[in-house]
Amino acid sequence: MAKRNAQNNKSNNGANIGYEAELWRMADALRGSMDAAEYKHVVLGLIFLKYISDAFEELHAKLEAEIDQGADPEDPDEYRAKNVFWVPKEARWSALKNNAKQPNIGTLVDDAMHAIERDNPSLKNVLPKDYARPSLDKQRLGQLIDMVSNIMVGDAEARSKDVLGRVYEYFLSQFASAEGKKGGEFYTPRSVVKLLVEMLEPYKGRVYDPCCGSAGMFVQSEKFIKAHGGRVKDIAIYGQESNYTTWRLAKMNLAIRGIEGKIEQGDTFQNDRFPDLKADFILANPPFNMKDWGGDRLKDDKRWKFGIPPKNNANYAWIQHMIHHLSPSGVAGFVLANGSMSSNQSGEGEIRKQIIEADLVDCMVALPGQLFYSTPIPACLWFLARDKKNHRFRDRRGEVLFIDARNMGQMIDRTHRELTDEEIRKVADTYHAWRGESDAGTYEDVPGFCKSATLEDIRKHGYVLTPGRYVGAPPQEDDGIPFEEKMTELTAKLFEQFTEAQRLEAEIRKNLKHLGFGEDYET
């Protein structure tokens, strides 16, 4: 199976980050007793403000140099024409930096946020505006402003290196880790998002995430398009997030990268903000095994084409919601708990059977454990395709690819694992070759790793989609030593261990006897 050429062979996982980690340590040292969930908005809000101020100041200086040519550095339209946020005087970073030690600094930051929202409608109700609250230590806030003042995140050089993007992404991951299960709901680990994007290749069309969290899927899609020479304007972004504060994070996360998209706030099940959307690509990481999703109120919903989802688990509601929103040639890739591949509770097995028989399942990937901040349990990736005929790739009707990646990943700290770029390429290349992409090489089954199964194979396994059922065991390495010779050697070692055990037992009995306990320990 041939591997495609990768544009960057260097692993870029969290273990290699230096600058961002140092910045995080400095910021975290100023947190004090503040809860991570609360502190998150304090820090990320300031970093966002610094970013738009840097970009503004750079263009402001350029316009000042061109006043003789008719430029007006105080005309908001000059900035909007260059896709730069207009920053009114009271909101510019220099004003905040000069007043960082003043007791009213919290009020000044709040006023700056209000002013930016007032003059930039796309940011309305997005920025945090609670810096004046008594519980926020104003001395620490001033120190944070001083710290952020020392980094350039929004000028041309910083933008070319995506300094803010890297810092923002790293901070999101660290806050997710600090918040534990709750934090994991807004942040999907970078390596998981990258794997989904690399497999689906969203070059052109409508991209949708019905539970978009902090918008990581969209950010990674943009990176993918740029890395492969595509145009970001060729995709249209649609996202929905139920949590209001997380929705604000998503809006800021996209704004700092200049990504335009329709990101709506609201409950996706109860208030689908894109009821008529048919997406070409769907990427998502829904909450695992969500219990309280309001299923009782949606029994007759048109989205449940394959069966009514159980009221105490939203997994199959998410799956059917995404199928409902796929275009006639659309593809979806999403994360779910492992139980979704085999559960027969509350009708889930029958729904899964109907989806499989409709030939919508394209690929299943088993992931290793400890990838997610919200849970240590392993998860899986589902890939669905509306049209498996010879549309973009080869005719795959009646076939499903199974990939077992449970043994992949490397530990980046005591509790979290991350897939390496090389592993991501291996899984994605396998899928691309199986789909029949022209430059992906020839697909072959690899025992213990991947298997192209038929619908009949899946029927024989009771419609269970766990990759381990299909890929088999990896081949054992043949070291060239005959079995009889190995057995003789192993038997000799075993008897050596028996002899050593007897010797140790005799020594222990002897020592116990010297201590006066010998009689009690005779057998």
- Render pLDDT for 432-455 as a digit per residue (tens, 0 to 9): 999 999 889 999 999 999 999 999
Q: What is the rounded (10 degree) CA torsion for 277, 283, 284, 285?
A: 180
How many angstroms separate the Cα of 45 from the Cα of each of 144, 145, 252?
A: 11, 11, 8
Homologous superfamily of the 180-471 domain (CATH):
Vaccinia Virus protein VP39 (3.40.50.150)
Residue 375 confidence (pLDDT) above 80: no
Question: Mean pLDDT over all residues of the chain?
Answer: 86
In DSSP notation, 426-445 reads: HHHHHHHHHHT-TTS-----
- Percent of the chain whose pLDDT exceeds 70: 89
Asked whether this chain's domains 31-178 and 180-471 adopt the same fold, the reply is: no
Show Cβ contacts of residue 383 under 8 Å, excluding neighbours closer than 6 positions: 199, 200, 331, 332, 333, 361, 362, 363, 364, 365, 431
* Two structure tokens written together for 192: 């998981």
Residue 225 confidence (pLDDT) above 50: yes
* Two structure tokens written together for 116: 């930016």
> 437 exposed, middle or buried (CB, 10 Å; 0-12, 13-18, 19+)?
middle
- Render pLDDT for 256-267 as a digit per residue (tens, 0 to 9): 777 889 999 999
Instruction: Give the other-Cβ count within 10 Å of 75's Cβ.
Output: 12
- Render pLDDT for 16-59 as a digit per residue (tens, 0 to 9): 345 677 778 777 877 877 777 778 888 888 988 998 898 899 99
User: Which of 166-180, 304-318, 401-415 reaches the highest mean pLDDT?
Assistant: 304-318
Q: Which residues pair with 20 in a beta bridge?
A: none
* Two structure tokens written together for 107: 């009020």
Q: How far apart are CA 267 and CA 242, in angstroms?
A: 5
- Render pLDDT for 147-203 as a digit per residue (tens, 0 to 9): 888 877 667 776 666 666 667 667 777 777 766 554 445 567 788 989 999 999 998
Q: What pLDDT score does 165 carry?
A: 64
Give residue limits of the domains in the chain. 31-178, 180-471, 483-521
Q: What pLDDT score does 476 carry?
A: 67
Q: How far apart are CA 185 and CA 272, in angstroms?
A: 19
Q: Return the closest-CA partner of residue 448 out of 425, 421, 422, 430.
A: 430
Residue 294 confidence (pLDDT) above 50: yes
- Render pLDDT for 313-325 as a digit per residue (tens, 0 to 9): 999 999 999 999 9
Q: What pLDDT score does 378 carry?
A: 79
For the domain covering 31-178, report its CATH number: 1.20.1260.30
User: Which of 59-73, 288-302, 409-423 has the least mean pLDDT?
Assistant: 409-423
Instruction: Report which residue type is found at 446.
Output: V
Q: What is the rounded (10 degree) CA torsion for 425, 428, 430, 433?
A: -110
